[in-house]
């Protein structure tokens, strides 16, 4: 990333990856919008529970080998197909074993996941969805490993659109059984995986890479290292997925599926924020590893400083924008029946910036050292979430307590990530301009809350136009201030210069 050519290549790949991520994001928004309209709150809650179930299940059943594929194929490209076959075989065997157990304990699992035996028919479709999700992760890891980023971005977009395509067939294909949707999604997704993996490999490009680590091993040694790399990171996957899943499971089993729908939609928005950093995380890990191998500590510190500087600008500013636009976004996105979730969304808003911070920095942290700091970061946040449940009885609205606990855990997640990065690099976090940017972001919050007091006094569209005008003014003024504070990313945006 330090040379002009390398920086240009990085920015080009990052731009393409973000463009595809926007497509996937829009597809996800449209999907939730359509489902919220055609499903009851109970079925919507069941859908979100299954999504969380798959999020926990596929890293465990794949042994987290999607990450290993991205790491080990560049080190041993001649074994790329063997690595993928091993991963898909482990996933298939694990899902078949899980299916056998699910058939035997269907009623118990239904009560555990949905709080009722009546939805036991969704257990097998949930496992089908889990299998499709696991194969998708392995395919993406394989394409990332062979460094075919163009095809990786293409299929990432196709996988996102697939969910909408399956929904269209589901919506107009007769009986609207949620289990039928997951079965249809699985069939289409697995077909896409087969088509994707028939494409050509790019081993010639990989052969130019460094031959360290796994490349020093031969035969079974490579495969053992490949598996151990993924397994060693399973704890962090479990903690982060648990962080995003436990509130939904708790709501569905202890309160109601309607409560699960409300909490699940807040967490779905948090997931959207997390995805904003995924393209950067995808590319920054190998770049940081390269700098670490060269012992370029100054280069790592400079990159870490740039990422932290960015956090203190737009991510923090987004807090006031969420609060300002929450009522209109919820009404347009989910419909009026979900307007009661706006207070919960406002409570979550301050934590949104910190999930972005974690998403931006986690790849950099993994690239600097072999020590699994990510396990400590994610377990700390998950522990805070668990402890927060001890105080739920102090809330008159238990859902407010669940969202508050989730939000505090996100503060811990982002804050611990920044603290670990500072320990690794010595980067300065609270510089003068960063503190000024944080102060500016906090100033806009009372303005957003004040504008929301007009809700009901003005028509929906009139108030919406006023809010968009205010949001545009806030964004314009803030970017002007960031430019005066000489943030590098603003120079790139406005003048197109490289930094």
Per-position pLDDT tens, the chain of length 499: 544 444 556 666 777 887 887 888 788 778 877 777 777 777 788 888 888 777 778 778 888 888 788 777 766 778 888 899 999 899 999 889 988 888 888 888 888 877 778 888 888 888 888 898 888 889 888 887 777 777 878 877 877 777 777 777 766 655 557 788 888 888 888 887 787 776 555 443 444 444 444 444 555 677 888 888 888 888 998 898 889 888 888 888 788 877 888 888 888 888 878 877 887 777 776 667 667 767 888 888 888 888 888 888 888 888 888 888 888 888 887 777 778 888 888 889 889 889 989 988 987 887 777 778 899 999 999 999 999 988 888 888 888 889 999 999 999 999 999 999 999 998 888 888 889 988 988 888 888 888 877 766 677 777 778 888 888 888 888 888 888 888 877 766 665 544 3
End residue of a domain, out of 232, 263, 285: 232
Residues 249 and 370 in one domain: yes
End residue of a domain, out of 188, 206, 232: 232
Residues 198 and 262 in one domain: no
The predicted-structure confidence for 487-499, as pLDDT tens digits, reads as follows 877 766 665 544 3
Residues 135 and 5 in one domain: yes
Tokens of 439: 């102060």
Residues 217 and 249 in one domain: no
Please state the separation of Cα 391 from the chain's center in Å.
28
CA distances, 158 to each of 69, 161, 166, 270 (Å): 20, 5, 12, 23
Domain region containing 289:
234-499
Residues 347 and 433 in one domain: yes
End residue of a domain, out of 232, 259, 290: 232
> Could you tell me if 285 and 367 are in contact, meaning their C-beta atoms sit under 8 angstroms apart?
yes
Non-local CB neighbours of 467 within 8 Å, separated by 6+ positions: 324, 325, 328, 451
Residues 44 and 193 in one domain: yes
Residues 207 and 249 in one domain: no
Please state the separation of Cα 420 from the chain's center in Å.
20
Residues 427 and 341 in one domain: yes
Domains identified in the chain, total number: 2
Residues 133 and 7 in one domain: yes
Residues 265 and 347 in one domain: yes
Instruction: Read off the pTM.
Output: 0.73
Residues 221 and 295 in one domain: no
Residues 137 and 265 in one domain: no
Tokens of 29: 């928004």
């Amino acid at each position: 990333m330090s040379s002009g050519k390398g920086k240009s290549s990085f920015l080009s790949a990052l731009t393409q990856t973000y463009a595809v991520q926007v497509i996937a994001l829009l597809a996800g928004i449209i999907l939730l919008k359509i489902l919220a309209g055609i499903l009851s709150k109970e079925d919507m809650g069941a859908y979100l529970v299954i999504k969380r179930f798959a999020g926990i299940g596929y890293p465990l059943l794949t042994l987290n080998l999607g990450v290993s594929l991205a790491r080990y194929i560049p080190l041993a490209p001649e074994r790329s197909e063997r690595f993928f076959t091993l991963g898909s075989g482990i996933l298939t065997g694990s899902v078949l074993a899980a299916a056998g157990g699910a058939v035997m304990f269907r009623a118990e699992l239904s009560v555990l996941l949905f709080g009722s035996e009546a939805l036991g028919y969704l257990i097998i479709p949930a496992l089908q969805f889990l299998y499709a999700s696991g194969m998708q992760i392995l395919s993406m890891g394989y394409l990332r490993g062979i460094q075919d980023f163009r095809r990786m971005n293409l299929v990432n977009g196709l996988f996102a659109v697939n969910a909408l395509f399956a929904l269209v067939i589901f919506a107009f294909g007769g009986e609207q059984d949620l289990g039928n949707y997951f079965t249809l999604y699985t069939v289409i997704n697995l077909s896409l995986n087969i088509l994707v993996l028939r494409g050509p490999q790019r081993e010639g490009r990989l052969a130019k890479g460094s031959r360290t680590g796994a490349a020093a091993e031969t035969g079974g040694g490579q495969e053992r290292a490949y598996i151990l790399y993924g397994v060693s990171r399973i704890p962090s996957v479990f903690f982060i997925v648990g962080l995003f899943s436990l509130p939904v499971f708790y709501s569905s089993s202890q309160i109601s599926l309607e409560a699960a729908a409300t909490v699940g939609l807040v967490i779905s928005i948090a997931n959207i924020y997390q995805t904003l950093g995924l393209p950067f995380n995808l590319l920054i890990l190998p770049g940081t590893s390269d700098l670490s191998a060269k012992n370029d500590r100054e280069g790592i510190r400079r990159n870490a400083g740039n990422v932290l500087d960015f956090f203190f600008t737009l991510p923090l500013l987004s807090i006031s924008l969420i609060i300002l636009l929450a009522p209109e976004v919820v009404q347009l996105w989910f419909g009026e029946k979900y307007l009661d979730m706006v207070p919960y969304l406002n409570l979550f808003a301050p934590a949104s910036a910190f999930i972005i911070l974690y998403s931006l920095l986690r790849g950099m942290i993994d690239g600097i050292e072999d020590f699994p700091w990510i396990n400590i970061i994610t377990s700390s946040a998950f522990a805070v979430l668990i402890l927060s449940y001890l105080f739920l009885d102090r809330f008159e609205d238990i859902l407010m307590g669940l969202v508050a606990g989730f939000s505090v855990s996100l503060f811990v997640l982002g804050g611990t990530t920044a603290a670990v990065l500072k320990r690794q690099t010595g980067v300065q976090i609270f510089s003068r301009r960063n503190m000024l940017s944080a102060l500016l972001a906090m100033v806009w919050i009372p303005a957003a809350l004040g504008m929301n007091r007009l809700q009901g006094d003005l028509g929906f569209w009139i108030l919406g136009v006023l809010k968009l005008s205010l949001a545009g003014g806030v964004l314009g003024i803030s970017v002007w201030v960031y430019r005066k504070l000489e943030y590098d990313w603003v120079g790139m945006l406005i003048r197109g210069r490289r930094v």
